Amino acid sequence: MCGIWALFGSDECLSVQCLSAMKIAHRGPDAFRFENVNGFTNCCFGFHRLAVVDQLYGMQPIRVKKFPYLWLCYNGEIYNFKQLQKQFGFEYQTLVDGEVILHLYNRGGIEQTASMLDGVFAFILLDTANRKVFLGRDTYGVRPLFKVLTDDGFLGVCSEAKGLINLKHSTTSCLKVEPFLPGHYEVLDLKPSGKVASVELVKFHSYKDEPLHAVCDTVEALPSGFDLETVKSNIRILLENAVRKRLMAHRRIGCLLSGGLDSSLVAAVLLKLMKEINISYPLQTFAIGMENSPDLLAARKVAAHIGSEHHEVIFNSEEGIQAIEEVIFSLETYDITTVRASIGMYLVSRYIRKKTDSVVIFSGEGSDELTQGYIYFHKAPSAEEAAEESERLLKELYLFDVLRADRTTAAHGLELRVPFLDHRFTSYYLSLPAELRIPKNGIEKYLLRQSFEDSNLLPKEILWRPKEAFSDGIASVKKSWFSILQDYIDQQVDDLMLEKAAEKYPFNPPKTKESYYYRQIFEKHYSGQSNWLPHYWMPRWVKATDPSARTLKHYKSAAQE
């Protein structure tokens, strides 16, 4: 996990522009570098490094003797770099997994490069010999990337929008900063002036398709057919493989553990594999919540069952409320449920950074979207509509849960790993008949739970624990975290302010005092950038006015049982 930043065709003083790159210093606390591009005095790269692999030669931009005309800045992990080396006979100059991008590009061009990468990534690749700039981002946008491109060809690229919003350019006073779309690469021509022109934006992978890199995966062809035992076995094999490939690290590995199904499965599989490959240190697991919250109690059970070195972070409502502004600044969004859920994740990440030496952090993000884990899926009119909704949620992950997971951990210099969003795992799960994937017997994620029923990885009451939203599970059942927040915000936002909300904020106008409060803070830091969030996250098929699962009837009946 690092911070990348680059400018092409700047007509302002680069030493002043470079100050913007320092806004993402938290992403790479170990080292930083600025480097001008030979022959292009108005182009430069900035890089903040979190050293996870190759402590000696891991600085960027990466340049190797074999390709002196290629410059690469990337943020991410390429899990199959060794398999690709074996497959194509690449001769690496460093131990950095991202070096494979240079070799793939030299061998087969940008389309093959993006398609063959098994991992999470955002990259800027410069080819000075052919005067091309390439941008690329992984399928689900696990690693963030933003860009600004003016009509006259000034290009700025950064891991987070905050590194671009204060850039200066002579032809415009207000630069349009926007997220780079996941699963795409862009080709731009580099002019002698250092300015660029966009040639094409290409979608290189659809998450429903088996990825091209599956041909050199460590797990070869799986048994075909949709009989239940085969499907369950394939799910176990692929999830285990997803965790195994993510063990690639020279820094200590830890795991977030809410005590819900997803993080518990990841923690259990992770610890099992760490033992198999004889990692010498114990797995640290981390749970956060208010005193006696459901998450703390459930996580404690899981940690005892799997035998992890467990840490509990207990916070009170005052600490959570005090963190709101810094959380919104880190997130770059004002989405209600994202802000709520991020506060706990931000506080636990801060604890991990300050109190432990774990740096590479596993988590359960992506499972709810993939395996239909949200409570409102019980209300889906049909299996087909549920499948379509699952795909929509996956497509928008980069705006919501994946954004939350990246920014809250990156704010404290941690690197997040999310095995549920493994390309092979997701494409296989989405290939299953829609009827197999829906909630059954009143239980969401039924197929995933069934797949691990006989594994003894988890206690039965955890494997079949009903869905609890992270922003809810950290507080007691008696008073939800969203209720605590709303009580506080009621004192900060008066009725008149809310009445005039649509005039003040015509795009995505706040409908509640809570959303108004978050929007106010967002506009303070990112004025005029409300279009980064196309819409609020809300459950479907129910008349919901609040994104919390605890406001839905199904939750209430499950809690009463």
Catalytic residue (one of 2, 43, 73, 158): 2
pLDDT at position 10 is 92
> CA 49 to CA 52: how far, in whole Å?
9
Q: Is 2 a catalytic residue?
A: yes
473 pLDDT higher than 50: yes
Same domain for 174 and 234: no
Residue 304 counted as domain residue: yes
Structural domain count, the chain: 2
Span 10-28, average pLDDT: 90
Which of 203, 233, 261 is at the close of a domain?
203
pLDDT at position 194 is 94
Burial readout 35-61 (b: 16 or more C-beta within 10 A, e: otherwise): bebeebebbbbbbbbbbbbeeeebbbb
474 pLDDT higher than 80: no
Same domain for 128 and 230: no
Same domain for 165 and 229: no
Residue 167 counted as domain residue: yes
| CATH at 357 | 3.40.50.620
> CA 120 to CA 137: how far, in whole Å?
8
Which of 203, 228, 259 is at the close of a domain?
203
Q: HEC states along 313-365?
A: EECCHHHHHHCHHHHHHHHCCCCHHHHHHHHHHHHHHHHHHHHCCEEEEECCC
Q: What torsion do the CA atoms of 227, 229, 231, 236 make, to the nearest 10 degrees?
A: 180
Residue 211 counted as domain residue: no
Same domain for 311 and 425: yes
Q: What is the pLDDT of residues 338-391, one digit of tens each?
A: 999 999 999 999 999 999 999 999 999 999 999 999 999 999 999 999 999 999
> CA 1 to CA 183: how far, in whole Å?
19
421 pLDDT higher than 80: yes
Same domain for 373 and 233: yes
pLDDT at position 557 is 42
411 pLDDT higher than 50: yes
Residue 462 counted as domain residue: yes
Same domain for 287 and 138: no
Binding site: which residues?
97, 256, 288, 363-364
Same domain for 191 and 303: no
Same domain for 183 and 249: no
Binding site for L-glutamine: which residues?
97
Binding site for ATP: which residues?
256, 288, 363-364
Position 123, amino acid: F
511 pLDDT higher than 90: yes
Q: How far is CA 112 from the centre of its chain?
A: 24
Same domain for 300 and 186: no
Residue 212 counted as domain residue: no
Percent of the chain whose predicted confidence (pLDDT) is above 70: 94
Same domain for 512 and 461: yes
pLDDT at position 355 is 98
Span 92-113, average pLDDT: 96
552 pLDDT higher than 80: no
Q: How confident is the model at residue 14 (pLDDT cuts 50, 70, 90)?
A: confident
Span 308-312, average pLDDT: 98
SS3 475: coil
Residue 163 counted as domain residue: yes
Same domain for 181 and 87: yes
Selected residue with higher pLDDT from 393 and 467: 393
> Nearest-CA neighbor of 149 among 158, 140, 138, 159?
158
Residue 208 counted as domain residue: no
Q: How confident is the model at residue 70 (pLDDT cuts 50, 70, 90)?
A: very high
What domain range is 31 assigned to?
A: 3-203
The reply to whether omega before 61 is within 30° of 0 (cis) is: yes
Q: What is the pLDDT of residues 203-253, one digit of tens each?
A: 998 888 888 888 888 887 889 999 999 999 999 999 999 999 999 988 999
Q: What is the pLDDT of residues 174-187, one digit of tens each?
A: 899 999 999 999 99
Which of 141, 174, 203 is at the close of a domain?
203
Q: What is the pLDDT of residues 316-326, one digit of tens each?
A: 999 999 999 99
Same domain for 319 and 175: no
Residue 210 counted as domain residue: no
| CATH at 8 | 3.60.20.10
pLDDT at position 560 is 44
Q: How confident is the model at residue 559 (pLDDT cuts 50, 70, 90)?
A: very low
pLDDT at position 556 is 46
